[in-house]
A and B are shown apart, each in its own frame.
Chain A
Amino acid sequence: DAKTTQPPSMDCAEGRAANLPCNHSTISGNEYVYWYRQIHSQGPQYIIHGLKNNETNEMASLIITEDRKSSTLILPHATLRDTAVYYCIVRVGTSGSARQLTFGSGTQLTVLP
């Protein structure tokens, strides 16, 4: 799995967009970018994933640069409940039985009132 680099912490004002960056300069062509988050001491929660196109779901948007060496997770209207550690994970998609996740240090996002 490719190595990822994320800032250790970020703040965001409530109601504003939170943009969380992730660098993955050694990503391979068959590796996907996954984002999970962990609200204090709860189990991690899947947010979104993508390969090369930008993706959007009900939780967030994922923007992947054309060279795929970096990506940004966007929470369009952050709320206090979005305060959590956000993990960017890069790994191959698999067939059959899925593989484990390798978590780095993540970014602690604090949404301020």
Chain B
Amino acid sequence: DSGVTQTPKHLITATGQRVTLRCSPRSGDLSVYWYQQSLDQGLQFLIHYYNGEERAKGNILERFSAQQFPDLHSELNLSSLELGDSALYFCASSVAGNHPERNEQFFGPGTRLTVL
């Protein structure tokens, strides 16, 4: 158990719909990352938040957005869903401490999104 929780575990929805994925980082971790893993694209970084502020964007579509709240949990919002958005979505957290090179990221169990 990494200490990172994600809800829901599974989500089935239809094209055109909007969903929200939730992530709670490990206690004390200020950074939250979102990754998408599809069969043909592998693990791809989407977005990084640090203490409520967006720090980096990766291959995140304009239909997707995220935020990190004052209690440090994060939500990933996916809208106008398409069949190709079906994937595993992972959240990870990390803390920058006295050994920044460690940069160990702790991954949650993921949310499996199926768009029909």
Q: A97-B96, A98-B31, A105-B42 are in contact. Are A46 and B101 (CB under 8 A)?
A: no
Q: Determine the chain A residues whose CB is within 8 A of the CB of B48 once the complex forms.
A: 97, 99-100
Q: Are B96 and A98 in contact (CB under 8 A)?
A: yes
Is B45 on the interface with A (CB-CB < 8 A)? yes
Q: A93-B102, A100-B56 are in contact. Are A43 and B4 (CB under 8 A)?
A: yes
Query: B residues engaging A (CB < 8 A)?
Result: 2, 4, 30-31, 33, 35, 42-45, 48, 50-51, 55-56, 58, 88, 90, 92, 94, 96, 100-110, 112
Sorting the interface of chain A by its residue count into under 10, 10 to 19, 20 to 34 or 35 or more gives: 20 to 34
Q: A100-B45, A100-B56, A102-B45 are in contact. Are A93 and B33 (CB under 8 A)?
A: no
Please list 17 pairs of residues, one from A and one from B, whose beta carbons are closer than 8 Å in the complex, sorted by A's number: A34-B103, A41-B88, A41-B112, A42-B109, A43-B2, A43-B90, A43-B109, A44-B43, A93-B101, A94-B100, A94-B101, A97-B31, A97-B96, A99-B56, A100-B45, A102-B45, A103-B42
